[in-house]
Amino acid sequence: MARKRVSVTRESDTGRNQTFHDNYSGADMTRSQFVRQIESGNYSNYHVRAINGIKTPVSNPDSTTNNNLG
């Protein structure tokens, strides 16, 4: 089974994902950095949603769990 492209490395007390790790490139990113990367087209299996007014990275809905954040 393929490993997840991106993993969450830190959550806030409320459960909002705050930092992320790209398991392929080794890059660590904050939420805002990951949002910018998604918006630039660098992570095609993810998109950005405004949740409570905050841009939040989420995986695209599909039948696989390999790209789920968590």
- The 3-state DSSP class for residue 18 equals strand
Question: Given this model, what pLDDT does residue 62 score?
Answer: 64
The number of beta carbons lying within 10 Å of the beta carbon of residue 35 is: 21
* 6-56 pLDDT, tens digit each: 999 999 999 999 999 999 999 999 999 999 999 999 999 999 999 999 999
Question: pTM of the entire structure?
Answer: 0.84
What is the per-residue pLDDT for 4?
A: 85
